[in-house]
Chain A
Amino acid sequence: MLSLKNVSRTFNDGSTGFKNINFKSEKGEIIGLLGTSGCGKSTLLRVVSGLDIEYTGSVKINDDLIKAVHEKVGIIFQEPRLMPWLNVVDNIGFGLNDKKDKQKEAQTFVDLVGLNGFGEHFPKDLSGGMAQRVSIARALITNPEVLLLDEPFSALDAFTKMQLQDLLLKIWHQYQATIVLVTHDIDEALYLCDRIFILRGQPGEVYKELQVPVSRPRSRGDEELAKMKATILDLLDLSQVENGESHDDIKTTTTK
């Protein structure tokens, strides 16, 4: 399980980054980190992943203190970050050690993310959504217990985004990994997460913790979720925009 105790990581003499983050995940829980840009969401994810170990406090996965990248962690970045010289199958198997059934194992993940028949294609021939599917498969193949997603769908069009959100839920049902999702899309957080932490300020702090009491499968037009969205918008205090503070990052698209 993932647990954070008094975790802080700041830059520029403490003016950016985040501080005093505490939470403990349940097994197979989906946790959303929601906040405006510059509140340290992505930094927090880098700390949890072990890519940034210059933090204070303690981050633990199954009681192992994170000092480097933990083998039970998988990450999906905002960009697919595929190796352009490898085809889809080899990209998916990228993190596996060289062993005999590597190809076969990668092939099953090609099918899992719905890319049957595209195994031999190279990244230059893939659309944005397909490339992100490959990166999802690449993160899953090492069978992570904690899956970290850093605004994974923010660069995709609305329809592809919905498809991939549903794909993520399908996979989550199958693997029951704990997921930490960083996002600035309120609808996405409400559709996917069990618990949402709202981060605010510079450096960012947890401003509010919200349970999403709607059972899955959720409808994107759910009334309860719409109410929660209004609450969250309130909490984020977007009126500050008029006072000159920029929160243009917050997406307030209405779902159909």
Chain B
Amino acid sequence: MSSKIESLSQQSKWKVKNRIHFPKKLKVVLYGSVIPAFLLLVWQILSMVGVFERHLMPAPTLVLEKIISMVADGTLWAHIGVTLLRILIGFTIGVVFAVVLGSVIGYLKRAEQLMDPLIQGFRAIPSLAWVPLFILWMGIGESSKIMLIAVGVFFPVYLNIVSGIQGVDRKLIEVGKIYNFTPFQLIRKVILPASLPSFFTGIRSGLGLGWMFVVAAELMGASKGIGYLLVVGQNTYSPDLVLASIVMIAILGKLTDSALKAIESKSLHWQDSFGKQS
């Protein structure tokens, strides 16, 4: 056992070292940037040579110019802010409903038999098919957009929570039973923490769908937002605006996902899995 102690303390020393100067993290970021940078370079060169026509596929520098000009006149922040707010509200509503329904259905067999067929049926409907109905019900304003996003976010989160709860190791639940836990204690102390990994998988894919549906919602009629910029770009024949919007979506989508991923790896540091080998 003493050798184990030694190797453990050795390990923790290395961990501390990594935390102090983090060339490794920087390396990972650089690694991930190699291919995008190369593609940008190729795009730029092909634009300059004239392979890409300017009125169809403007060069990266022109797209960047467009973004900078929007930053300068302040319009960009307004559009981004509106889009982010929509996604935040829709995402939150979708996640809350999915967590409540998913927990009950995952835990109670009866509730699953009662509700799951219905929910699976709804899942089979492409979320965009709801658009006309939502517009009829709620008009073209904010509520129909947020509703669409919430519906899109709901399903991946719901599915992952149900399967996460049902996949909790029976042996761990038995440990709780040994201590005469009430169902509520069992859920709080065993089932929820044990299904946390699939919860995170769910909200990350939910967020991805959230971005998809916020753009869809803004395409169908909005006066602000990134999706609206896409429509404007199309109607005014300005591919630089369309590309600038797409780039913004890519950047924001990546940033929000990274934020969730950071929370995930912080909350799941106890996992002993292949992906976490250093």
Interchain CB contact under 8 A, A142 and B179: yes
Which residue of the partner chain, among B8, B172, B180, B189, contacts A125 with CB atoms under 8 Å? B8
Interchain CB contact under 8 A, B1 and A95: no
Interchain CB contact under 8 A, A124 and B272: yes
Interchain CB contact under 8 A, B5 and A85: no
Contacts known (A122-B270, A124-B271); A77 close to B171, Cβ less than 8 A: yes
* Closest chain B residue to A78, Cβ basis: B171
Q: Does A75 contact B (CB under 8 A)?
A: yes
Interchain CB contact under 8 A, A51 and B180: no
Minimum C-beta distance from A76 to chain B (A): 10
Which residue of the partner chain, among A68, A86, A127, contacts B4 with CB atoms under 8 Å? A127
Q: Does A38 contact B (CB under 8 A)?
A: no
Interchain CB contact under 8 A, B1 and A129: yes
Minimum C-beta distance from B8 to chain A (A): 6
* Closest chain B residue to A133, Cβ basis: B1
Give the chain B neighbours of A49 by CB distance below 8 A: 178
Q: Mark A37-76, 1 if CB is under 8 A from B, else 0.
A: 0000000000001010000000000000000110101110
Interchain CB contact under 8 A, A130 and B1: yes
Q: Which of A78-128 contact B (CB under 8 A)?
A: 79, 81, 83-86, 94-95, 117-118, 121-125, 127
* Closest chain B residue to A144, Cβ basis: B178
Q: Which of B1-17 contact A (CB under 8 A)?
A: 1, 4-5, 8, 11
Interchain CB contact under 8 A, A75 and B171: no
Interface residues in B, total, Cβ within 8 A: 22
Interchain CB contact under 8 A, B180 and A83: no
Which residue of the partner chain, among A77, A84, A129, contacts B271 with CB atoms under 8 Å? A84
Complex alpha-carbon distance, A75 and B189, angstroms: 18
Complex alpha-carbon distance, A129 and B179, angstroms: 23
Interchain CB contact under 8 A, B270 and A51: no
B1, B175, B196, B270 — most chain A CB neighbours (10 Å): B175
Q: Does B25 contact A (CB under 8 A)?
A: no
Interchain CB contact under 8 A, A84 and B177: no
Give the chain B neighbours of A77 by CB distance below 8 A: 171, 175
Q: Does B193 contact A (CB under 8 A)?
A: yes
Contacts known (A84-B272, A129-B1); A94 close to B179, Cβ less than 8 A: yes
Complex alpha-carbon distance, A125 and B177, angstroms: 26
A51, A95, A121, A122 — most chain B CB neighbours (10 Å): A95
Interchain CB contact under 8 A, B175 and A94: yes
Interchain CB contact under 8 A, A69 and B172: no
Q: Does B209 contact A (CB under 8 A)?
A: no
Interchain CB contact under 8 A, A73 and B8: no
Q: Does B190 contact A (CB under 8 A)?
A: yes
Minimum C-beta distance from B1 to chain A (A): 7
Which residue of the partner chain, among B8, B11, B190, B272, contacts A83 with CB atoms under 8 Å? B190
Give the chain A neighbours of B270 by CB distance below 8 A: 84-86, 122-124
A-B contact pairs, 6 of them (CB 8 A): A69-B178, A71-B180, A79-B171, A94-B175, A124-B270, A125-B11
Q: CB within 8 Å of B: which residues of A? A: 49, 51, 68-69, 71, 73-75, 77, 79, 81, 83-86, 94-95, 117-118, 121-125, 127, 129-130, 142
Other contacts beyond A73-B178, A129-B1: 13, CB < 8 A:
A77-B175, A81-B171, A83-B175, A83-B194, A85-B270, A94-B175, A95-B178, A95-B179, A122-B270, A123-B272, A124-B270, A130-B1, A142-B179
Closest 3 CB pairs of A and B: A124-B272, A95-B179, A85-B270
Q: CB within 8 Å of A: which residues of B? A: 1, 4-5, 8, 11, 171-172, 174-175, 177-180, 189-190, 193-194, 196, 269-272
